Amino acid sequence: MTHLSQNIPLRTWLVLIVVIISGCGLGASAVVVSSIMRDFTITRVDQDLLKASQGWATRNDFLRPDPSSARPPSDFYVQKMYSDGSRIIVNDSESAPDLSNVQLDSDPVTVGQANPESGGVRWRVVARYQDGVSTVVALNLGREDRMIEQLIVTQVTIGVLVLVVLALIAYFVVQSSLRPLRDVKQTAVAIAGGDLDRRVPTLSTKTEVGQLSVALNAMLGQLQKSVEEAHAQEKKMRRFVGDASHELRTPLTSLRGYTELYRSGAMPDADKVLTKISDEAGRMSYLVEDLLSLTRAEESPTDFKEVDAFDLAVGVASSLRVAHPNRKIVVFNRTEDVPLVSADPQKIHRVVANLVNNALIHGGPEAAVEIEVSETPEHICINVKDNGIGMSPEDTEHVFERFYRSDASRSRATGGSGLGLAIVKSIVTAHNGTVTVESELGKGTAFSVCLPRLVPMRK
């Protein structure tokens, strides 16, 4: 039964339940009405029997002197038995009641007929004894039984018609009510087929199906976002692994090549071979360190402290002036209050240092770098600008991607790994900040790092 019920559609179950409940109600109503009607007819017959047994049937003059003479037919069966054993029977019916179990002066009872082979006619009988005479009065219940049978047939016919009409109405109502669920099924099938933009039609939230559609659309939106993010992350991971493998393969290939050259005798100068191997190992070490830095920036906890953005910018400029004594690095404070932010000082120091170092290396040998600290009502911004060679719009769009280089050969020559700006973006994002870039070829590049400020701006 359980297996069968699992294979029956919901709409069929609903129609069956409506029909079964309605059928039970109509059946119970028919039984009650038939019972009441049967009791009513029996009560009426009993009243006629009691009136007859206490009235005209007790008199002897109701019979004609000659019983064989014509008289109107009667539904009553009357038997009078006298003390001398003689009896008179008046019966216009072809059958007679079975009086074997009838008791005198008792309530009316229902009995069968004296000759069962004549049919199943029932009789209602009452017997009275008065002045030495026993009087039995009976009425044939055939007419009442036929009336009850006709009532039952009529009720069954009407009930069947009502159930058929009700089943049709229930079917169309259920079909209409379940249409949104079919839309949900079709939407689910479409999504399973790859159509992630598919949504359930929006209905009124006053209905359960409408509330379900709203909840499903919200869930589908989140699901689509999660799937798209997962695909994007997978794509980034594949690209990251491919780029990392490619970047590591280059110095490893060089190491192997110089080793083979030395072994084969094509390059007998051991010092030159060791120098080349050391340079390639240094580049590979630099790449691995940047990879580790990027991982630590994404996974390591951030130690938030109160940081003065201007002091941090001055410290970065001082450090890089030592490393690049011939380059111009200036710092400006454009804020009215102390530019305080909640940040990890070591990580933000690295962000600004990466941006300034990136400007010094890739802006050109004559490029000057300007570090400007500015403010908005909600943020403190550290802007790193240079007047170097700039970048194309395509490079600007992809500059924060891992291993991206506008000029791969030149970047390798300068030791760049293509991860510096990816590390910057990762650290700034962990600080709930933003980093943007604007650049134009021949005019320079400007990076802007904005972090939430600690002290609200005075009005």
Q: What is the pLDDT of residue 332?
A: 93
User: What would the DSSP string read from start to end of 112-145?
Assistant: -BS-GGG----EEEEEEEETTEEEEEEEE-HHHH
Taking the domains of the chain in order of start, what are their residue ranges? 12-162, 193-240, 301-452
Q: In this predicted structure, what is the pLDDT of residue 295?
A: 62
**Which of the listed ranges 115-119, 197-201, 378-382 does the model predict with the highest average pLDDT?**
378-382
Q: How far is CA 10 from CA 171, 175, 177, 179, 212, in A?
A: 11, 10, 12, 12, 17
Higher per-residue confidence, 369 vs 278: 369
Residue 116: predicted pLDDT: 67
Q: What is the pLDDT of residue 452?
A: 92
Mean residue pLDDT of the chain comes to 79
Mean pLDDT of 398-417: 58
> How far is Cα of residue 361 from the mean position of the Cα atoms in its chain?
54
> Residue 170 has what pLDDT?
85
- At residue 78, the 3 state secondary structure works out as strand
Confidence of residue 411 (pLDDT cuts 50, 70, 90): very low
**Percentage of residues of the chain with pLDDT beyond 70:** 82
pLDDT band at residue 66 using 50, 70 and 90 as cut-offs: low
Question: What CATH number was assigned to the domain covering residues 301-452?
Answer: 3.30.565.10
Type of residue at 263: R
pLDDT digits (tens, 9 = 90+) for 204-262: 777 776 777 778 778 877 877 887 788 877 876 776 676 667 666 767 777 777 787 77
Ranges of beta strands (E only) in 275-368 are 305-308, 329-333, 340-343
The pLDDT, as a whole number, for residue 408 is 43
Top pLDDT among 340 and 284 is at 340
Instruction: Give the pLDDT band (50/70/90) at residue 401.
Output: confident
Structure-token match 């953005």, residue found: 309
Beta-carbon contacts of 291 under 8 Å, excluding residues fewer than 6 positions away, are 244, 417, 419
**pLDDT, tens only, 434-458:** 999 999 888 899 999 999 988 765 5
Confidence of residue 7 (pLDDT cuts 50, 70, 90): low
Q: What percent of the chain has pLDDT over 90?
A: 12
Give the pLDDT mean for 257-270. 76
Return the pLDDT at 117.
67
Global model pTM greater than 0.75: no
E strand or H helix that includes residue 313: helix 309-323
In this model, does residue 382 exceed pLDDT 90? yes
Taking each helix axis from N to C terminus, what angle separates 10-54 and 142-177, rounded to the nearest 10 degrees?
A: 160
